[in-house]
A = this chain, B = another copy of it.
Amino acid sequence: MSFQNPVFIPGPTNMPEALRRACDMPTLDHRSPLFGQILQPALAGVKKVLKTETAEVFLFPSTGTGGWETAITNCLSPGDKILAARNGMFSHRWIDMCQRHGLKVEVVEAAWGTGLPADRYEEILAADTNHEIKAVLATHNETATGVKSDIAAVRRALNAAKHPALLFVDGVSSIASMDFRMEEWGVDAAVTGSQKGFMLPPGLAIIALSPKAQAAVESARLPRTFFDVRDMMKAYANNAYPYTPAVGLMNGLKQSCDMLLAEGLDNVFARHHRIAEGVRAAVRAWGLELCAQTPDVYSDSVSAIRTPEGFNATGIVTHAAAKYGVAFGVGLGEVAGKVFRIGHLGSLTDVMMLSGLATAEMVMADLGLDIQLGSGVAAAQEVYRSDSAIASKEAA
């Protein structure tokens, strides 16, 4: 595997050199006033990216999985009931985590390749007249299938059912790459990590809790210490931290937010959309299909591409790494061997994406798929050529 080529996995993403440097800090005394000068702008920057003014942001030396655990252990109690849909590997894992923490999960099964069924949520919530359901889980972007769900619709379902359950959203592979409106959508807990849209190394769980979620913290009885947001809240007020913070990553997060906001969130989202459109045009040119079943659920951060019946899609990933030094993503869970994934989020340009598409073509041709070399590239080039206004404003 060559470090010269970009990666095309759905995170960790390619990192801008400026952010790597921001993370690679000399040792800083986190009990000195300098720490607050990193912490506070990082928290403020994340709030802007999440489009919330009322939520509190928490940063843990952890990952998105730790972020999920933070949301549930801080807001829920043993035996609480949860509503969640399973439409891919990551929604599956979150459900599993809830069960391991002693929560009762009402699971709505949805086809892998479809979005969250907000209508089913509404039915179940409306039927839950005793309000036994304490939280609704929603995966904004299913990284395993390349499927984006409609969080606003989930909120409407809750509202229609007049249900007080908390809305927890996994935005790990959407936040900072696709539009996320924490306040407008009434999200109570938003979870992400450092290594996706924020273009940083892994190692930071990023969690935001709405005032309603914060209010639930005191009565929540699931045990936690490392992930206890109360300790964080108390410490943040003094520009401090309950234990040793991952200062470098926090400094990187501060700069990442600065970089994203300088580019403009709308431009960031448009860039991701444009690059994704190029990938989707290539997939069509290849005569293949996305795992995502309908255009309304196409993800702008990752595409899972179905390969023909009988072909082992995992071979594409292995061969691309071994022969061309390029990393793509394998299919997971139910779609293992049936799809391969192209990550197109984070620090990426049209030009870099074209090298990924060109590689995918060579790999598929090498493995005997009926792919015309250059066909997908040409389709993507058409997309990238036509959107010049934005192309020139690529992230540094």
Contacts and interface: CB of A to CB of B under 8 A. Distances in A.
A330 B29 CA distance: 11
Contacts of A68: 225
A77 B19 CA distance: 42
A326 interface: yes
B396 A3 contact: yes
A259 to B, nearest CB: 12
A54 interface: no
A348 B245 CA distance: 22
Interface string A64-99: 111011000000001000000000000000001100
Interface in A378-393: 378-379, 381-382, 384-385, 388, 391-392
A351 B362 CA distance: 10
A65 B1 CA distance: 35
A358 B381 contact: yes
Copies of this chain in the oligomer: 4
Given A14-B4, A322-B392, A381-B358, A329 B225 contact: no
A351 B359 contact: yes
Interface residues of A, number: 102
A14 B1 contact: no
Interface in A2-16: 2-5, 7, 9, 11-16
Contact of A223 (B3, B21, B30, B223): B223
15 contacts: A7-B27, A12-B244, A24-B24, A31-B329, A61-B62, A61-B66, A61-B203, A62-B66, A65-B242, A193-B244, A325-B392, A358-B358, A366-B388, A374-B381, A377-B378
Interface of A: 1-5, 7, 9, 11-17, 20-21, 23-34, 61-66, 68-69, 78, 96-97, 100-102, 193, 195, 201-203, 222-228, 242-249, 321-327, 329-330, 347-352, 354-355, 358-359, 361-362, 365-366, 372-375, 377-379, 381-382, 384-385, 388, 391-392, 394-396
